[in-house]
Structure 1
């Protein structure tokens, strides 16, 4: 059930809004329900958004969960958030993602209050997406590597909701919010050194597609044991190391098959398979067709 942004009880002298230079937009709840019910809305809508600079004493404590996911991007200062899993510190360059249906609290640091861009997003399929993206109450804070892009998208959300609440404006705002959420899902950095190492290792594989790189070699580069590295890599990337490497090689092979007239054997060598017959078997296993059959397909 959707809750009014101003209906929750205030506690602990936390101030929900009213900061110099702030921007705050709240979509009327009847309009939210109308929009979600109409055909073509995408079952997704931004219900609230804003910008709170140097937000002294800012915060909320919700004992009764609300039906939106809350996304806050801390661009300066610091703060904190609480979920049933505990209390978490929030620093500049980190995002807070609070899933719907979970009691929570958050607030600015007393000595160095945060500056935050934020939005609330509602939709019937958000809980499943957040679970798949590991955006849970147990893991509400994550380091953001593409800070400028996330803030730009939230700025776009605010700009369109400031314009009006017509369907075109809500479509653009909700699209920008979905883009921001998916970027946060892909950007799983949480300040964990081992996760940063995995990102570096994945980048190494992307730039050395044709090389024979083993798990042991990548683990040694990261100064981790092979078993620990393999487990962290799979948890972070969603695929084992060698399967991820195969995905990269097959993507490059498709590009070469589509854009060049090089022979199958030449392409096999360029993506790390000296044996072209083994490459063809792997390609068919991955795509369901041989490289030659793939090349004959009409695309685009």
Structure 2
């Protein structure tokens, strides 16, 4: 009897999804001495993800971690079907065919990460040595969740070199909490606020608008030339370029989890010219918005 599967395309209430642009990976992550060792390509959180289903007949080019904190689901890998329960995580090696699904009556809540890097295969092997059928049990730990949330929070602030090093070094800590749970000890420390951080926060709140360099420098209380110099020193990018990165990050979410047309997505991000938006998206992501959407649809076929 053929398996009946319902698929959800519009996303899940309260979800998070961040995809690091291919250009950022190629220009920085694969070259920097720190990040090239181990780096995140995609990260997300799906709460109560009813009808969540993914099938990849040839796997993907990254390793995958799925950490279930409540509900139930299953994964099929290496010709084995494995039930996934709360406080369990699954590791899926790069290039391995798999499919997984949330249970309809008791849908899972999961944190998930795709990652690569020079030492990533070695890390996966260490995890597999401790796992049974690609699965490990973890005691729920709020500080581990905070690590995940801090990665997401900082990735949402953009792709400066320091930011990318920071989040991927946190990711190393996150992985150590999976591998060496008994040794895991985390003491969170807030990063100090500054004028650039405040300005980036304002950018995030106004992704649906057009903001001029003059407005940004005025918000920061600095001259345009001084603000631009300080911003580039802190982030590695000009203020407008950085703002566009944040817009494309949000565009990925619209394309992945809504049926909005490319023109509608552009309008939601304050870009009236659909073709300018498509060029901006293609430059950063390495493919057009339509190609990006179709690629993710194909993943779930």
Given the two structures, how large is their TM-score scaled by the length of structure 2? 0.54
Alignment-derived partner of residue 134 in structure 2? 140
| Distance 1:144-1:138 versus aligned 2 partners, 3 A rule | closer
1:217-296 map, 5 Å? none
Q: 1:135: how far off? A: 5.5
Tell me how far apart the structure 2 counterparts of residues 72 and 138 of structure 1 sit (CA, whole Å). Answer: 15
Whether 1:23 aligns to 2:16 is: yes
DSSP-derived class of the 2:11 partner: coil
Whether 1:72 aligns to 2:59 is: no
Q: 1:47: how far off? A: 0.9
Alignment-derived partner of residue 29 in structure 2? 36
The equivalent position to 1:56 in structure 2, one of 47, 50, 65, is: 50
Give the greater-gyration-radius structure (CA): 1
DSSP-derived class of the 2:13 partner: coil
Q: What are the superposed Cα offsets for residues 275-296 of structure 1, whole Å, 9 maximum, x if unpaired?
A: xxxxxxxxxxxxxxxxxxxxxx
Tell me how far apart the structure 2 counterparts of residues 101 and 136 of structure 1 sit (CA, whole Å). Answer: 21
Give unpaired runs (5+ residues) of structure 1.
1-10, 189-300
Q: What are the superposed Cα offsets for residues 218-259 of structure 1, whole Å, 9 maximum, x if unpaired?
A: xxxxxxxxxxxxxxxxxxxxxxxxxxxxxxxxxxxxxxxxxx
| Distance 1:166-1:59 versus aligned 2 partners, 3 A rule | farther
Aligned residues: 178
Instruction: Answer 1 or 2: higher relative contact order, Cα 8 Å, separation at least 6.
Output: 2
| Distance 1:122-1:84 versus aligned 2 partners, 3 A rule | same
DSSP-derived class of the 1:134 partner: helix
Tell me how far apart the structure 2 counterparts of residues 60 and 27 of structure 1 sit (CA, whole Å). Answer: 20
Alignment-derived partner of residue 94 in structure 2? 100
DSSP-derived class of the 2:73 partner: strand
Q: 1:17: how far off? A: 6.1
Q: 1:148: how far off? A: 2.1
DSSP-derived class of the 1:133 partner: helix
Given the two structures, how large is their TM-score scaled by the length of structure 1? 0.54
Tell me how far apart the structure 2 counterparts of residues 29 and 51 of structure 1 sit (CA, whole Å). Answer: 21
Q: 1:57: how far off? A: 0.5
